[in-house]
């Protein structure tokens, strides 16, 4: 409207990166289960059930590429290794057609692995997709996420809880189901440093008990080392 260039504020988008990743993977898992495949949850990620682990690792070469490059350069810091990911990424074979890529992939698969993949595909075709109560699954996933997130924290963002719920419900509930369950949750809402945060009544009561305990204990005991002097090491 002002007809001028503007800068994007992407701080919140970056902060919620794990949430957007989980939303994408949740949608993908739901589409896979709709085709009849089963998924095995692996923390933040998931695998297609039945695919041999060595085969998955064979086609997941990014970690080994980064570790190899880091070793060659003497890099040991985890954050530096993470930054190397984009710089060490292999060039994509844009010139290859889908048929060429499929042939190349199958050429890397042994007879036993091919038989295992054929069995996974056949099972998916026979199952015709999985049916379940996504609403109940989402509600249960949110309860798990709430307990998990607040196990060591007193407050969190709503999206942090939703992210944990998405991880726990891959292939059984969609992001919309989790969003509805999150919206219905009886969270206590507030703000910390200008960022919207939530907690629960139970966590709030626990926090009050801890604070009261700390206050009651003030000045009731002699401080450790009181009256003693550290030796002069100079």
- The answer, yes or no, to whether residue 47 has pLDDT greater than 80, is yes
Separation between Cα atoms, residue 116 and residue 124, nearest integer Å: 13
Mean pLDDT (whole number) for 133-139: 94
Q: Which residues lie below 8 Å from residue 162, measured CB to CB, with a gap of 6+?
A: 19, 22, 142, 145, 178, 179, 182
* Residue 128 vs residue 54, higher pLDDT: 54
pTM of the model: 0.76
* Residue 35 vs residue 128, higher pLDDT: 35
- The answer, yes or no, to whether residue 80 has pLDDT greater than 80, is no
Distances (CA, A) of 203 to 144, 155, 173, 191, 209: 15, 9, 27, 16, 10
Half-sphere exposure of 97 (CA within 13 A, CB side): 2
Which of 35-44, 52-61, 133-142, 196-205 shows the lowest mean pLDDT across its residues? 52-61
Mean pLDDT (whole number) for 32-53: 93
**Phi, psi for 175 (deg, rounded to 5):** -55, -35
Mean pLDDT (whole number) for 74-100: 70
Q: What is the pLDDT of residue 3?
A: 93
Q: Which residues lie below 8 Å from residue 22, measured CB to CB, with a gap of 6+?
A: 44, 162, 163, 166, 167
Q: What is the pLDDT of residue 121?
A: 93
Q: What is the pLDDT of residue 41?
A: 94
Q: What is the pLDDT of residue 145?
A: 96
* CA atoms 178, 180, 184, 188: torsion sign: positive
Q: What is the pLDDT of residue 215?
A: 94
* Residue 56 vs residue 20, higher pLDDT: 20
- The answer, yes or no, to whether residue 90 has pLDDT greater than 70, is no
Mean pLDDT (whole number) for 51-80: 80
Quick one: which of 14, 19, 60 has its CA closest to 167? 19
117 CB neighbour count, 10 Å cutoff: 17
User: 116: pLDDT confidence band, cut at 50, 70 and 90?
Assistant: very high
Token pair listed for 151: 């196990």
Task: Read off the pLDDT of residues 5-25 as tens digits, 9 standing for 90 and up.
Answer: 999 888 888 989 999 999 999
Q: What is the pLDDT of residue 139?
A: 96
Q: What is the pLDDT of residue 67?
A: 77
- The proportion of the chain whose per-residue pLDDT surpasses 90, expressed as a percent, equals 54
Separation between Cα atoms, residue 189 and residue 157, nearest integer Å: 9
* DSSP E strand stretches across 55-119: none
Which of 37-41, 88-92, 135-139 shows the lowest mean pLDDT across its residues? 88-92
* DSSP E strand stretches across the chain: 39-42, 45-48, 188-192, 195-199
């Amino acid at each position: 409207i002002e007809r001028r260039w503007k800068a994007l504020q992407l701080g919140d988008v970056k902060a919620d990166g794990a949430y957007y990743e989980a939303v994408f993977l949740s949608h993908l898992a739901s589409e896979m289960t709709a085709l009849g495949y089963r998924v095995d949850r692996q923390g933040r990620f998931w695998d297609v059930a039945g695919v041999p682990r060595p085969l998955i690792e064979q086609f997941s070469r990014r970690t080994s590429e980064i570790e190899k490059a880091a070793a060659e350069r003497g890099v040991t810091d985890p954050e530096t290794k993470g930054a190397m990911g984009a710089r060490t990424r292999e060039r994509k074979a844009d010139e290859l057609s889908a048929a060429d890529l499929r042939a190349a992939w199958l050429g890397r698969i042994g007879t036993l692995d091919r038989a295992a993949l054929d069995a996974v595909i056949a099972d998916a075709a026979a199952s015709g997709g999985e049916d379940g109560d996504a609403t109940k699954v989402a509600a249960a996933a949110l309860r798990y996420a709430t307990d998990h997130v607040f196990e060591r924290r007193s407050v969190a963002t709503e999206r942090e809880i939703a992210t944990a719920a998405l991880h726990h419900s891959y292939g059984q509930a969609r992001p919309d189901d989790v969003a509805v369950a999150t919206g219905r949750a009886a969270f206590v809402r507030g703000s910390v440093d200008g960022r919207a945060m939530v907690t629960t009544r139970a966590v709030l009561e626990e926090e009050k008990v801890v604070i009261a305990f700390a206050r009651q204990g003030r000045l009731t005991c002699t401080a450790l080392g009181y009256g003693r002097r550290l030796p002069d090491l100079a």
